[in-house]
Amino acid sequence: MEKEDLKVLNKGEEEEMELQGYRLCRWRLALVGLGVLCTGGFLLLLLYWMPEWCVKSTCTRTTARDAEVVLMRSTDEFRRWFLARVRVMLAPGRNPFHSLETQTTSPSSPSCPFSSPPLANGHTTHPSDCDPDQELFRIYADYQPTQIRYFTFHSTTYYWSDEVQNFDVLTGLEDLQVSCSTLHSEHSAGLTRNQQEYRRLFFGVNEIAVKVPSVFKLLIKEVLNPFYIFQLFSVILWSADEYYYYAVAILFMSIISIATSLYTIKKQYIMLHDMVATHSIVRVSVCRANNEIEEILSTDLVPGDVMVIPSNGTIMPCDAVLVSGTCIVNESMLTGESVPVTKTNLPDPLPGERGEDNDSAYNTEGHKRHTLFCGTHVIQTRFYTGDLVKAVVVRTGFSTAKGQLVRSILYPKPTDFKLYRDAYLFLLCLVAIAGIGFVYSIVLSIMNEVPAKTIIIESLDIITITVPPALPAAMTAGIVYAQRRLKNLGIFCISPQRINICGQINLVCFDKTGTLTEDGLDLWGVQRVENGSFHLSEENAYKENLVKSQFVACMATCHSLTKIEGQLSGDPLDLKMFEATGWILEEATEEETALHNRIMPTVVKPPKQLLPPEPAVTPEQDMELYELSSAYEIGIVRQFPFSSALQRMCVVARLLGEKRMDAYMKGAPEVVASLCKKETVPENFADVLEGYTKEGFRVIALAHRRLESKLNWHKVQNISRDHIEANMEFLGLIIMQNKLKAETPAVLQDLHQASIRTVMVTGDNMLTAISVARDCGMIPPQDTVIIADALPPHDGQAAKITWRYADKPSKTPHLEEVNITLDDVCHIDEPKKQELYHFAMNGKSFAVISEHFPDMLQKLVLHGTVFARMAPDQKTQLIEALQGVDYFVGMCGDGANDCGALKRAHGGISLSELEASVASPFTSKTPNISCVPSLIREGRAALITSFCVFKFMALYSIIQYISVTLLYSILSNLGDFQFLFIDIAIILLIVFTMSLNPAWKDLVSRRPPSGLISGPLLFSVLTQILICLGFQTVTFLWVRQQPWYTVWKPFTDACNNSSHINMSDHNETEIDDHNIQNYENTSLFYVSSFQYLVVAIVFSKGKPFRQPSYKNWPFVLSALTLYVFLLFIMFYPVKAIDDFLEIVCVPFDWRVKLFILILVNAAVSVLVEGAMDLRAYKCLTRLCCPSKMTPKARYMHLAQELRVDPDWPPKPTTTTEAKSLPENGSTYQIMKNS
């Protein structure tokens, strides 16, 4: 069908998908049904695994509007297919926000709420006890019911929209693009019951429902895995061939594997369900449109409801915006920061002030200081003059912040890793080899006139031998052991498959505050400003002569501290600043705020000992008047909370007894200075600030302004902050110290030595970040830092980047020759002659460069070391940009605002154990970055273990394949118990113990290969296959050349002279139908059994990624035990064992010859693999890094290009300007500054 009917869902978002509409076709369904019957259900399985085939074989294309089934394909690199059934519901209107007339409705609640009609699969959007159609017509008799088409996918409902001619998601009140003033005027009264019922039709029940699937459902899903289906086929085949014991053993293994898997999955579901279910259903009070307060269940809430926040606090059941009152909230569930946050009511601009700037459309991100998020804990509320604290519900269910977090856990992105893709390719190669054997055995059997049944069973048997059934269990073992070792190190993992990927990490991004540095800040000093010039810096402001200064008043009032159960609580920076003044904070009680018509503000006052002594009181003076005049108290009248977008906070306060109010502001120095009168900002402000930030101090600026006398309390409550935050007087700087954690420099040094790049991503000031990067060794002292300042297009001018050098290094003559060093390309041990450089930029520049200089961004991230003032979503974009140039990225943060980045990175490790970090694949109990090298070491060990196990399992299947193929040529095979002994006693024991090698103690600069399809690995496997093939073929041919050799019969006695066992009782042996007992079988069984052990030892690698195998005592013990047992049965036959394994007696001299053959085989295998290890790395380096060869990774390729670019890195005298060229998109040109 025409291409234009391909719709795009969630355009530009993470879950972007292409959608096609299909209609069910009866004759196709009938044909598929017939096919399912003919294939015994196998076709149904195939369609279950392939949604695309399923839809295309049973449906015909139609428009998305008329679709009965939609077929979706993700637009990411995985290109996964999904299908969903389109359903229809009846509703009185097309849009949940249509204002339906309610005259026809009775004031009392209807006997049955609206609900969607029963659907094809018995699913309804919410429970209903009466016929919904009748109910719809009864309540809305004037309305013609509308058919609304929708489908549900990944816990999100998509509705058909005629406006956009596509399926769309209804998120909540934000869909209306409602302005702040409209939210106050039109949405703060509440909904009628009927409006609420109508909206619930669309938004569904307000619940984040994590359904724990039944064991039966999980079992079906797990058992329908292609691998288990193959195992079932194998078991049926072996049973048909009377290999009952082996079939039972494999069946037993599969059952244990499935049971373990089910237990783990079920446990994860229950854990997530319990986490979400806590406080998810509570009773809430809502305001109705007729000013009634009604108590309902939180599951009934819909966007637009007005919820009353109880004074004793609650756990929020939805996302809601405060329209009256203030709340103190613990948002640790969402941000990972357990510091209480003050949420204020959404500003309601006065009619005259409703410009575009003051009255913007409400959105949860931009107005998060006024938004209460689902799952966060409201600790206490503040309300005045009897008003209730009210919030308008904006989002419910899975649309909420908590819902999105849960969805990201429920439906994670698949882990794309070369190892897993190569594993499938490798299995395909094995299947191809099996195909050759399959054809060979059929041809051979036909030539020897073997019965048809035997031909079918034996030729299919070859396939089950070549693809080892124990492979997934073997591959999982290494990861399970690594997970256990990580747990012992205090690192918990919710995504075990990522452990292997961590072994490839070659770049780690670190958050700064709380990760590289200590969480708290210490006050280092203050530097006051008077008459437009700086005083000398002072240690603190706790002085009598400063107690009544505006500087101290600003420190004492400009914060969001509150008392919770008598304890001061709030932002650590605010706490340190307030404690430095020594003042006391007093808050009005709930009773006082409710009783007084006038506001009872939070009051701060200095301790009495700090106030200057007053003259003695004479008896005739009025005592009360004296106390009033001597009291020095400041009341905080209004608070404009700190906004990371504005980088400042502001309060309006009044000194007791004063008529006029004061505004105090604190924030980022550059921002505060820009809002002050120029004459009050010292001329050397920039130099002083740079001096502090270069030393790594966190600097906060303070400012003050006397407000006009006409601004009374009521006007202040409604004024916009822009009116207050202008024409301020600059008061000075507070200098805070953020100390590095003790472990930080050493860990970063270890990572650098291992050629792992380190990058800092922080929300802090640029120069402070650069200074901390220098202090911790991320940027060596001699290296240059180039700051990229990007400006967006303005007044017709194109976007441009200005380059400046941060700290003017003393050595700059050779900057023309600066090159990016690539430790990952070729590790050259020569001293580096060229000077190194690092790029630094802030969030604003990053946004401009991402949009206007996409090709430049790739070059910048190649050597970008400091990214400052980065918003949470920008951190995620940076991770994506780094992954875009083929870096394997690790991210380490404290879980606060790093959630997205932690999830997106190949290995995200959170230092916070709070709920928000649940989305992070790894969580560390140790609150410092020492967990990062540990994780990478364990990842490398797990990766090498996976390679060892895969190589061993491949060799095991090939060795067995060679044995069986050789025996097929004489119409023989391995016996049931021989298979059992090899597969259970040798293979399983070895595989599960060879995975136990712990990680090597140091991080080395070499990285393990990322895929199985790499030169050395394939060469290693192929050489071992040839060695095993050679020695088995020699054994097979040589035994037939022996003078004593005859075709074995039950009465044959080839070792009557050389064995101490009397073989006369062999005459009683049963006739062997399968021709198992013969000299070829016995000889090949001995040789191949030793080959499995030799290969296991050869492939079990130690240094530089794992501890040597001799330290893995379970493996050493298992191998020795098997060697001793095999040598024992070879040289001292025991009749019971021989009969069990169906081995025949051979002369002693032949056993000695076999032993010599096995020793030579072992020596050749060890020597060849040893030679490979010694030379492979050097050869590989030569192969991968010839001067003219283009490297595979994109960042290496870019580095090679930049090495010969004369204009790179940009000089400090240049500006780079964006230039739009139609033929090749965005590009740029570098110009000299005039």
76 catalytically annotated: no
Give the pairing type, strands 17-24 and 371-372: unpaired
Q: Residue 487: count other Cβ atoms within 10 Å of its Cβ.
A: 12
| Cα–Cα distances in angstroms (integers) from residue 1139 to residues 171, 242, 1050, 1065, 1077, in the given order | 72, 17, 12, 12, 10
Three-class DSSP category at 490: coil
Q: HSE, CB side, 13 Å, CA atoms: give it for residue 885.
A: 23
Beta bridge partners of residue 507, listed in sequence order: 757, 889
Residues in a beta bridge with 319: 395
Closest CA to 509 of 876, 953, 222: 876
Residue that the structure tokens 């990016």 belong to: 820
Residue 141, exposed/middle/buried by CB under 10 A (0-12, 13-18, 19+)? exposed
**CB within 8 Å of 884: residues ≥ 6 apart:** 858, 1194
- Tell me which amino acid residue 967 is: L
Query: Which member of 319, 461, 511, 775 is catalytic?
Result: 511
**Cβ proximity of 339 and 520 under 8 Å:** no
Looking at the chain, how many residues does it have?
A: 1234
Distance in angstroms (rounded) separating the CA atoms of residues 483 and 923:
12
d(CA 109, CA 627): 60
For Cα atoms 1131, 969, 448, give the angle at the middle one, nearest 5 degrees.
135
Read off the DSSP letter of residue 93: -
Residues 6+ positions from 799 with CB-CB distance below 8 Å: 790, 791, 792, 793, 848, 851, 852, 853, 1217, 1218
Measure the CA–CA gap between 844 and 647, rounded to whole angstroms. 13
Q: Give the angle subtended at the CA of 641 by the CAs of 640 and 643, to the nearest 5°.
A: 115
SS3 330: strand
The single-letter code of the amino acid at 652 is V
- Residue 1097 belongs to what H/E stretch? helix 1079-1099
Compute how many other C-beta atoms are within 10 angstroms of the C-beta atom of residue 896: 26
Strand partners, 700: 734
Q: Are 204 and 196 in contact (CB under 8 A)?
A: no
Tokens of 969: 């040529």
For residue 1104, whether the previous peptide bond is cis, meaning omega lies within 30 degrees of 0, is yes
Closest among 487, 508, 415, 498 to 946, alpha carbons compared:
498
CA distance 1083 to 1190: 50
Q: How far is it, in rounded angstroms, from Cα 692 to Cα 687?
A: 9
The span from the CA of 158 to the CA of 1087, in Å, is: 63
Q: What share of the chain is helix, strand, coil (3-state, %, to 5)?
A: 45, 20, 35
The 3-class secondary structure across 594-645, one letter per residue, is HHCCCCCCEEEECCHHHCCCCCCCCCCCCHHHHHHHHCCCEEEEEEEEEECC
Pairwise CA distance, residues 759 & 773, whole Å: 9
Residue located via tokens 């930030």: 693
Beta strands in 460-518 (DSSP E): 491-493, 507-510
Q: Is 109 left (phi over 0), alpha (psi -120 to 50) or beta?
A: beta
Q: Can you tell me the distance from the alpha carbon of 1012 to that of 952, in angstroms, rounded to the nearest whole number? A: 13
Q: Which residues are catalytic?
A: 511
